[in-house]
Structure 1
Amino acid sequence: MRSGTLLRRVCALVALVVAGLHIAHAEPYIAVREGLKCGNCHFNPAGGGMRNVFGNAYAQSALPARRIEGVGTEVWTGMLNSFVALGGNLRTSATYTDVPHNDSTNEFDVDEMRAYLAVTAIPDRLAVYVDQRLAPGGSTNLEAFARYTSKGQYWNFQAGQFFLPYGIRLQDDTAFIRQVTGINFATPDRGVQVGYEAPNWTAQLAVTNGTAGGAETDEGKEVSLRAEHVRNVWRFGAGFNHNHTDAGNRQMQGVFAGVRTGPIAWLGEADYIEDHTLGPGDRKQWVGLIEANWLMTKGQNLKLTAEYFDPDTDVDEDEQNRFSLVWEYFPFQFFQLRAGARVYDGIPQNDQQNRKIYFAQVHGFF
C-alpha cells in the first residue's frame, strides 16, 4: 500500500472519530482544545499510559507540525495483531537549577522510560494491561490489572495495580496539585475500580490499600472518586479521596475544569486537603493550578502555568507559588521537544522554595 494512501486513511480515521464520537484525549490541554475525553486515545479511561489506535493516529496526523513519510512501511497503530498492543515513552532532559545562596547545578538525566503491553483476550470486553517503568533505576511495575467491559461499553471493572482516579492527570508530577495530593504517576495503588463511560460523562470509583503500591499494614482502605462532564468547548469535574489508616486519616476534595477560548485552552484545579492524625497536629491545606495553552501554529504549544500551595491554613504567610513558561514542539510524529523555565516563590527563609529551574527535554513515544 502506498504511504499517501495510508496517510489519507489515518486522517480519515481521526476525522471520523472526532466528528462522530467526541471521546478522545492525548494530554489534558489537548483534550480541552479538541473538546474530547480521555478514553479514546488511551487504554486507561482516566488518561495516561498506553495510546490506543486512535491515539497513535492522532499523534501522526493531527499533533505534529509535519509528518515524515516512510518508504514501503505501514502506519504504526500499536497493534501487533487483533489481540496484542505495545507502546512506550522515553523522556530525557538537561536541567539547570539556581538556588539562592547555593552553587548552581546542571545535569543530564533520563526522566523516565516506560513500556506498555495490552492483551485483549476478548475484543472490547476483556483485557490485561501492564505499564512497566524501565528507567531510571531498576525495573518497577506501575500498572498491572485486568479489566472487564460491559456489552454496551458503559461500565468497566478492573482489579490489580493502577493509578488512582483524582483530578487532572497532568504529565508533570512536580506540579503542586500532583505532589501535595500524592496522586501522580509515581504512586499507583492496588485494589479494584469501577468506571462509567457515556458520550458526555466519565467517572471512576476505586477502593485500594492506600499504601501507594506498598504492602498493606492495617485494615484501612483508600476510596477515590473522579467524575467529569465534557462538552465541546468546556468541561467540569470533581474528585474525592479518603484514606483511612491506623496512623490517621487524609481526606481530599477538589474541583477541576477546562475551557477553550479561541487558540487558548485553559485548565484549572483546586483541592482542599485535611490531614487528621491520632495526636496533635491536624493540618488543612489548599493547592491550586491555572494553566493557559496557546496553539501558536500546528505542532507548537506555549504553556503558561501559575500554581498555589498553602501548606497549613492555620499558619500565616507560609504560602508557596510556582510559575512556569514552557514551549512544546512536535516537529514530526511520535517526537516532542520541550524547553522552559520554572520560578518558585516561597518563604524567604527557605532557599529551596525560591529556586529557579531551566530545562530542555526530548520526548519520544509510540
Structure 2
Amino acid sequence: MYTHSKKMLLIKLCFFICSIFLFNSTFAEPYLAFKNNLPCSACHINPIGGGARNTYGAYYGTNVLPQNGGSPILFDAGNLSETFRIGANFRANYEKTDFDKNSAVQTTEDSRGFQTQTGQIYIVFQPKDSRFSLYIDEQVAPGGALNRETFVLAKLIDNHYLKAGKIMLPYGIRLQDDSAFIRQASGINFNNSDNGVELGLQYTHAIINLAVTNGSSGLTNDDKRMQYLLRSEYIGNNWRAGASAIMNDAELGHRTMYNIFGGFNWLGFTFLAEVDQIKDESVSHVPGAYETQRVSFFEVNRELFKGLNLKLTTEYLDPDTHINENQRNRHSLLLEYTPFANIQIRGGVRSGKDIPQRVQGNYSNVFAQVHFYY
C-alpha cells in the first residue's frame, strides 16, 4: 500500500513530466474496457466506443476514474432533457520533437510549441419511447468545423442495433491515438469515417459487427464498388480476443485487411495487443502487383494508485514486406493523471526508429497534454 508521502511524490513526478513534455496524439482509452471486462457500449452511446458517454460512462469518468471523485448528488450525465444529451472532449498539447542528427540525410527541423490538438462536441437526440436516436459527433477545433459522425441508431431486439449514415468503422482495437501505426496503415481512425450501414449483434460474451460502406471515405461513392467489414470479439473472464477483416473492392485495386487482437488482466496489469496484415493493389500500376504491410501494437497499463495510470506501448510497421530491412519501430512511456472529474493530464516520452533515409521516422519526443472530457 502506498503511503501519503509516496503518493505525493508520484503526483509531483507526474506534474513535473507534464510540465516539460508532449507528442501530437490522443492516447488510448480502450484499456479501461479491457480492465473492467466490459464492451465499449457499456460506457459509450456509440456501441463501438468513443464519442459521447452514456450515463454509466459519465458516472465512471466522474466518480470512478479520478483520484478525487465528484459529488454523487450533483452528478451530471449531460442530459439537458429526457430527449437531448450533450458531451464534449478537448485536448491541448505542448510538443518537443528532436530528429536524429546522425541520419544520412538531415532535412527536418526540430520543433517546439503549443497546439490545440482536437475538440469535439457530441449531440444525441432520443425521442421518448422510441427505438431510434440521432447521433452527431462534430469536431470544432482545430480549424473549421468537421463532421466526424452523423448516423441514426436503431435499437433492435435485446442489445442488437443497426446504424445508418456517416460512421467510423469497427475494426480491431478502437484506439484514441490516430497516429498509431495500426490506425495509420489501415486508415481506420477518427479522421476517416465513411458512409454506410452497420449491424451490431451483442450477446452476453460475444460481439459481432457487419458493415457495408462506400469505401471512398467521401460524401459520395466515386465508383460502383463497395467496402465490406466483419469484426468479432469474445469477452471472457479477465481476457478477450477478436478478429477483423475488411475487403474494399475499389476501382484502383482491391485492398484487404485482416487483424487479430486481444488482451488480458494479470496481477494488476492490463495488456492489449493487435497484429494486422494489409494487402493493397491500389498502390501499384502493374496489373496483379500488390503491396503487403504488417503492423503490430502492444500496450501494458498499471494503475499506480487511484487516478494515476502508467502506460507503455511498443509498435512495429513493415510498410512493404517485399523490401528487406524496411521496418519501423516506435516506443512510448507515459503517465495519465486524473486528479478530479472532467480533467486529465498526460505526459511522457516517445522514440521512433526508422531507416536512415526516412528522417521523419527517427526522432525523440517529450510531451504533455491537458484533456477535458464531459
Distance 2:338 2:235 in 1: 26
Q: CA deviation at 1:122?
A: 4.5
Partner of 2:221: 216
| Percent of residue pairs identical | 39
Distance 1:148 1:170 in 2: 25
Out of 345, 348, 353, the position equivalent to 1:340 is 348
* Structure 1: gaps spanning 5 or more residues: 1-25
Query: In 1, distance between residues paired with 2:44 and 2:129?
Result: 16
Query: Which of 119, 127, 139 does residue 133 from structure 2 map onto?
Result: 127
TM-score (norm 1): 0.89
The answer as to whether partners of 1:34 and 1:232 remain within 8 angstroms in 2 is no
Residue pair 2:213, 2:226 contacting (<8 A) in 1 also: yes
Do residues 311 (structure 1) and 316 (structure 2) align? no
- The letter for the 2-side match of 1:316 is N
After superposition, give the CA deviation of every residue in 1:297-351 in whole Å (9 maximum; x if it has no partner).
1111111001000011111000000000011011011110000111001112221
The two structures have a TM-score, normalised by structure 2, of: 0.87
SS of equivalent to 1:74: coil
Give, as a single letter, the amino acid of the residue that structure 1 aligns with 2:363: R
Query: Counterpart of 2:371?
Result: 363
1: CA distance between counterparts of 2:343 and 2:215?
35
Q: Which amino acid aligns with 1:192?
A: V
Counterpart among 274, 277, 281 of residue 276 in structure 1: 281
| Contact 2:249/2:255 (<8 A) preserved | yes
Instruction: Quote the Cα distance in structure 1 between the aligned partners of 2:248 and 2:116.
Output: 32
- Write the distance in 1 (CA, Å) between the matches of 2:245 and 2:99: 36
Return the offset for 1:185: 0.3
Aligned mates of 1:327, 1:181 — CA distance in 2: 27
> How far is 1:27 from its partner?
2.4
Q: 1:70-219, aligned counterparts within 5 Å?
A: 74-101=74-101, 102-123=108-129, 125-153=131-159, 155-219=160-224
Using the alignment, how far apart are the partners of 1:199 and 1:213 within structure 2?
35
Aligned twin of 2:52: 50
In structure 2, runs of 5+ residues without a counterpart are 1-27, 102-107
The 5-angstrom pairing of residues 261-300 of structure 1 reads 261-277=266-282, 279-280=285-286, 281-300=289-308
Contact 2:63-2:70 within 8 A present in 1 as well = no
Provide the secondary structure at the position in 2 that maps to 1:60.
helix
The change in CA–CA distance for 1:124 and 1:30 in structure 2 (over 3 A counts) is farther
Q: Which amino acid aligns with 2:321?
A: T
Whole-angstrom distance in 1 between the partners of 2:132 and 2:100:
54
Q: Is the 8 A contact 1:129 1:145 kept in 2?
A: yes
Q: Which residue of 1 aligns with 2:42?
A: 40
Which portions of structure 1, spanning 4 or more consecutive aligned residues, are displaced by more than 4 angstroms? none
Amino acid of the structure 1 residue aligned with 2:269: I
Deviation of the 1:107 alpha carbon: 1.1
The CA distance in 2 between the partners of 1:85 and 1:175, in whole Å, is 31
- The one of 24, 27, 42 aligned to 2:29: 27
Across the two proteins, how many residue pairs are aligned to each other? Answer: 338
Aligned-pair RMSD on alpha carbons? 1.5
- For 1:122 and 1:158, locate their aligned partners in 2 and report how far apart those are by CA, in whole Å: 19
The 2-side partners of 1:85 and 1:61 are apart by: 19
- In 1, distance between residues paired with 2:163 and 2:74? 33
The answer as to whether partners of 2:82 and 2:128 remain within 8 angstroms in 1 is: no
- 232, 242, 245: which one aligns with 1:240: 245
Residue 217 of structure 1 aligns with an amino acid whose one-letter code is D
The answer as to whether partners of 1:119 and 1:129 remain within 8 angstroms in 2 is yes
- Is the 2:311–2:335 contact (alpha carbons within 8 Å) kept by the matching residues of 1? yes
**AA in 1 matched with 2:118:** E
Point out the more displaced range, 198-207 or 283-292: 198-207
User: Contact between 1:269 and 1:288, CA under 8 Å: does it hold in 2?
Assistant: yes
